[in-house]
């Protein structure tokens, strides 16, 4: 699948079929995370792949979103901000940690999409409960819970905000490109 098609066809799926995904596709999806940009190349993330149904159930309960338990596999993305905080200070380190986790998570979603799998980025969860359930060290942050599988019934991606609502030129207020710009040749 070409990149644009992958980007445009990805959508959040909240109903999964009982068809079991190929394990290698799950591993390939996690592998894509490593190629995301990381501040100072400090990539301090772990991805816990859940296949134990009891664990998946408990994590779904901690998300208060039971659809998570319908997926055969769930990936829990966790990051350790300490190296980034050491290098960039508390505030920037925390921001970079969250931002690069987002980039890594998106890589996983897109790779899964390319491989014909569906996902949902779940950001609402009781972090402490997830940490206890999965034996995640205190210093780590849980970034996302990602159920991954085949969608139950085909659905279309949501309509997205039009390009003209998000793009600006040269400053925040300019909505139209100035094609009489003399700097351009």
Ligand X SMILES: Cc1cc2nc3c(=O)[nH]c(=O)nc-3n(C[C@H](O)[C@H](O)[C@H](O)COP(=O)(O)O)c2cc1C
Site string for ligand X, 25-54 (x = CB under 6 A): ------------------------------
Token pair belonging to 127? 């972090």
Min dist. Cβ of residue 183 to ligand X (A) = 37
| Extended strands (E) in 73-134 | 73-79, 118-119
Min dist. Cβ of residue 21 to ligand X (A) = 19
Sole window of 9-17, 36-44, 45-53, 162-170 interacting with ligand X (rule: CB under 6 A): 9-17
66 contacts ligand X (rule: CB under 6 A): no
Q: How many residues bind ligand X (CB under 6 A)?
A: 11
* 132 Cβ contact list (under 8 Å, min separation 6): none
Q: How is residue 135 annotated by DSSP?
A: T
Question: Binding to ligand X (CB under 6 A): which residues in 106-145?
Answer: 120-124
CA gap 10, 115 in Å, rounded:
11
Min dist. Cβ of residue 158 to ligand X (A) = 5
Nearest partner of 40 among 83, 90, 99, judged by Cα: 83
CA–centroid distance for 139 within its chain:
21
Residues that bind ligand X (CB under 6 A): 11-12, 14, 65, 120-124, 157-158
């Amino acid at each position: 699948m070409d990149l644009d098609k992958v980007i445009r066809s990805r959508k959040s799926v909240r109903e999964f079929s009982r068809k079991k995904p190929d394990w290698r596709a799950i591993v390939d999806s996690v592998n894509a995370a490593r190629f995301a940009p990381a501040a100072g190349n400090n990539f301090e993330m772990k991805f816990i792949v859940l296949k134990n149904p009891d664990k998946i159930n408990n994590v779904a309960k901690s998300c208060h979103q039971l659809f998570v338990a319908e997926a055969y596999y769930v990936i829990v993305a966790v990051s350790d901000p300490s190296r980034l905080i050491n290098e960039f200070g508390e505030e920037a380190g925390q921001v970079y940690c969250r931002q690069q986790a987002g980039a890594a998570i998106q890589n996983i979603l897109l790779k899964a999409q390319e491989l014909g799998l569906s996902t949902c980025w779940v950001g609402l969860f009781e972090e402490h409960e997830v940490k206890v359930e999965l034996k995640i060290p205190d210093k780590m942050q849980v970034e996302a819970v990602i159920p991954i599988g085949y969608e139950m019934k085909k659905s279309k991606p949501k309509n997205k905000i039009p390009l003209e609502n998000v793009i600006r030129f040269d400053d925040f207020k300019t909505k139209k490109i100035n094609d009489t710009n003399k700097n351009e040749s």
